[in-house]
Amino acid sequence: MTEPGKDLVLRAPGLGEIVIPAAELVERFSRASGPGGQGVNTTDSRVELLFDPGASAAFSTAQRDRLLERLSDRLVSGRLRLVGSEYRSQRRNRAAVRERLRDLLVDALAPPAAARRPTRPTRGSQSRRLDAKRRRSDVKSGRGRVPPTHD
């Protein structure tokens, strides 16, 4: 779990280690709805985390371009916005939102899957396919009207 208020560290196979400085993560707090008893009206436990991947110095140019392309539908004015209010404590909400941001960035930074290498059907599979077509054709051709017999 990531520690609120500290740098965010991204680790993944093929990615190495990327450290996002805490200064690039903007956190805003407000009152959350839902359970909380007497403290729900006085505690700012809802967390909104804002991060601008385009302005971050933590990524290389290629990584930044990949992030902006893959997260384009989630960016608002170039910033990524995540909200957390599932827990009653602000600290747990902060940690949960940072964890979600970390997972989102690691997924977006993952290298693209290798392109499919086309293969040709084997001779056996082609002959089986044609045999099946022939059998099906015979079945269907036997279905028509039965010609009248002249006795």
Q: What is the pLDDT of residues 37-61, one digit of tens each?
A: 555 556 677 888 888 888 888 888 8
Residue 63 pLDDT: 84
Q: What is the pTM of this model?
A: 0.66
Instruction: Give percent of the chain with pLDDT exceeding 70.
Output: 88
Q: Which one-letter DSSP state was computed for residue 68? A: H
Conformation bin of residue 11: beta by default, left when phi > 0, alpha when psi is -120 to 50? beta
Residue 27 pLDDT: 78
In Å, how far are 21, 48, 128 from 51, measured between CA atoms? 11, 10, 57
Between 42 and 12, the higher pLDDT residue = 12
**Residue 129: pLDDT over 70:** yes
